[in-house]
Amino acid sequence: MKITFLFLFLGLICSAVSCQTNSLNSQTEEHIKNVLTSTKSDTLLLQRFPVPDGYTRIPCDKYSYAYYLRNVKLKPNDARVNYFDGSEKKNNQIYCAVIDQPISDRDLQQCADAVMRLRGEYLFSQKRFSEIHFNFLSDNKPRYFKDYGDKTNSYNNFLKYMDYVFAFANTRSLYNELLPVLSTDLQIGDVFIQTGNPYGHAVTVMDLAENENGEKIFLLSQSYMPAQETQILMNPTAHEISPWYTLKKQGDLITPEWNFKFSNLRRFKAENN
């Protein structure tokens, strides 16, 4: 019953977004079309998505998680999100880019899993193998990459380790692992996350920019159900700046397939970042 109700609720949200889209002015419709059908061949996130006029990207160290996410590689512009079984996810103004990371043919990499995947990929790229760990739901204790499988640091073993984690972790275990932070302290790599019954959702802050008045905007990524490639989200409520989102101190953060509160913000514990 709860699952049925949730799908009905999400359907109402999608219907509402659809109604909003139908009433858009021609300039906004043109912007959405440009975002979805741009011929840009840039493969890095920061190249594909320039900031709106008046905003400047917030500086970050080149070895930081923020730098990794801002420079993550994207699939070609016309790529569609693939589900774990190889079928395509219809867009319907949900996403505007696909992160170039392979996923397995098992129904594992869903929402919280994509958050952990990005963090794990960053640490792996930095060769910080001993720091790659995520907690299991069953006991809230970490499982370390260095202890997994054949105990090599090969990328193939890393992917197997991540699937192992995905099978035994979820939004609840990730929520418990992350530290709460105020939205006013938003950083690249932070996570908007909700737990729920039967499930919750989580999205990652991929980039961050600011104007001279201190107003901030950001990009978001997600995976969803069933397991699918990680995607950069459109903004269903501010089409004129989509895919960028405006930071607020409180209230709702509305994404194409889930509604969060700005108070739902959490962060990975800093190690060497």
For residue range 72-120, list pLDDT tens digits in order. Answer: 999 999 999 999 999 999 999 999 999 999 999 999 999 999 999 999 9
Domain count for the chain: 1
Q: Among all chains, which residue has been given the structure tokens 């790529």? A: 79
pLDDT score for 23: 43
Instruction: Give a yes or no: residue 248 inside a domain.
Output: yes
Instruction: Give a yes or no: residue 272 inside a domain.
Output: no
CA–CA distance, 116 with 165 (Å, rounded to integer): 9
pLDDT score for 243: 98
Q: At what angle do helices 155-168 and 111-125 cross, to 10 degrees?
A: 150
The CB density around residue 7, as the number of other CB atoms within 10 Å, is: 10
* One-letter identity of residue 158: F
Residue 76 is classified by DSSP as -
Q: What predicted TM-score, i.e. pTM, was given to this entire model?
A: 0.86
Whether 218 contacts 207, CB under 8 Å: yes
Paired tokens of 269: 């514990």
Q: What percent of the chain has pLDDT over 90?
A: 80
Return the exposure string of 64-96: e unless at least 16 CB atoms fall within 10 Å of the residue's CB, then b: bbbbbbbebebbebebebbbbeeeebeeebbbb
Instruction: Give a yes or no: residue 51 inside a domain.
Output: yes
Instruction: Give a yes or no: residue 273 inside a domain.
Output: no
Range of the domain at 157: 2-267
CA–CA distance, 10 with 88 (Å, rounded to integer): 20
CA–CA distance, 68 with 91 (Å, rounded to integer): 26
Residue 135 has pLDDT above 50, yes or no: yes
